[in-house]
Amino acid sequence: MTQSKWFFHPILIFIYSILALVLSLFLYIYWYVKVSSGMSELIEKFDLPHDRVLAMETWVVILMLSILVGIILMGIIIIFVYHQKIFQLYRLQNNFINNYTHELKTPVTSIQLYLETFLNNPLSPEDQKPYIEYMLLDVNRLSEHINNILNISRLETRGVHETQDIDIVKFTQNFIAKNADQYPNVRFENTICGQVLLKINEDLFEMLFCNLVNNAMIYNNHSEPEIIVRLEMKKRYVYISFEDNGMGIEKKYRSKVFKKFFQIGQADDRSAKGSGLGLYIVYSITKMHGGKISVLDNPKQPGSIFQLKIPGKKPENKNVKYE
């Protein structure tokens, strides 16, 4: 921690407040004794009006004490706000740990059950196949949770990631085609003519796309989940929208969903879904690329629209990726 950050540490602010309080009491007593005697001598020496001089003395003391009391109150307010933020973070972490423990335990228990079935009941290869497919799904769930933790560490420990000019239209088309088996209900709508280049890290942006699509699938109770990835360009910005027909997000939660560990629902009754990390990863990657992300209402149907705003440009030459 740098010296400037230590200077504003809440513990030091609390110490400053206590010192200011002690100093104010000491100065009050000191000024009352010292200044009063000094003023009395001055009044007698120069034959000054007694009431006017003492009134000036009183205002000086009041001003100085007001400044010191203001410092004390400011310190107490800062400590209170810091305490509230720490308490909120503790609740979010506790919610995350409870839910994540459940998310990790469920596939492990499922795999254990299938393996015990194989051990106690010899099955033919044909009979084993559906169980093996279920176990692979559970392994993928575990891998996804582990990757989320690793991705958070990667984003927070590494500084600047290597970027290159990439045609976002071709990138989006390739992403949807490559993940068609995993996300069969994703459609692509493009209103951009020709190529548009974004200066991005390809791996991180693929991670961003995966997290937004996964989020749209998790918070979707529709019988046929549908996700539309839409590209638009206005002036020098590219708008990438992920529109779904899911449950939607209440306005009171929209400013919170990108915070680390935040989940809608409670871990105690298992109403919280996901890990509370996916949208934080999306926010971090977007910010790293100089963009912004917001949650919008879906005017066509129930659901949400996650919209990214990223600086883009038309290519000056043909030497770009995804031609």
Q: Which amino acid is at 265?
A: G
Whole-number pLDDT of residue 116? 86
> What are the distances in angstroms from CA 312 to CA 165, 235, 236, 289?
9, 9, 6, 11
Residue matched to tokens 């899911």: 246
Which residues of the chain are under the pLDDT cut of 70? 1-11, 13-14, 25, 28-29, 31-62, 92-103, 145, 148-149, 151-161, 261, 263-276, 317-323
Measured between alpha carbons, how far is 160 from 158 in angstroms, rounded to an integer? 7
pTM (predicted TM-score): 0.58
Bridge partners, 240 (sequence order): 231, 308
Whole-number pLDDT of residue 168? 93
Measured between alpha carbons, how far is 10 from 16 in angstroms, rounded to an integer? 10
Whole-number pLDDT of residue 167? 93
Q: Are 254 and 297 in contact (CB under 8 A)?
A: no
> What are the distances in angstroms from CA 298 to CA 28, 228, 244, 250?
63, 11, 8, 12
Contacts of 100 (CB under 8 A, 6+ apart): 145, 275, 276
The torsion angles phi and psi of 15, rounded to 5 degrees, stand at -65, -45
Residue matched to tokens 């503790």: 90
Whole-number pLDDT of residue 89? 72
Count of C-beta atoms within a 10 Å radius of residue 75:
21
Q: Which amino acid is at 249?
A: I
SS3 297: strand
Whole-number pLDDT of residue 66? 73
Element of type H or E holding 267 = none
Whole-number pLDDT of residue 264? 67
Measured between alpha carbons, how far is 46 from 55 in angstroms, rounded to an integer? 17
Cα 13 to its chain centre, rounded Å, is 26
Whole-number pLDDT of residue 70? 75
Burial of 310 (0-12, 13-18, 19+ CB in 10 A): buried
Whole-number pLDDT of residue 1? 46
Q: Which amino acid is at 26?
A: F
Bridge partners, 197 (sequence order): 167, 313
Radius of gyration of the chain (CA): 31
Whole-number pLDDT of residue 233? 92
Residues 9-52: tens digit of each pLDDT: 666 766 777 777 777 767 766 766 666 666 666 666 666 565 55
- Angle among Cα 73, 74, 75 to the nearest 5 degrees reads 90
Of 252, 253, 308, the closest CA to residue 284 belongs to 308
Measured between alpha carbons, how far is 250 from 268 in angstroms, rounded to an integer? 21
Measured between alpha carbons, how far is 166 from 195 in angstroms, rounded to an integer? 9
Measured between alpha carbons, how far is 254 from 171 in angstroms, rounded to an integer? 28
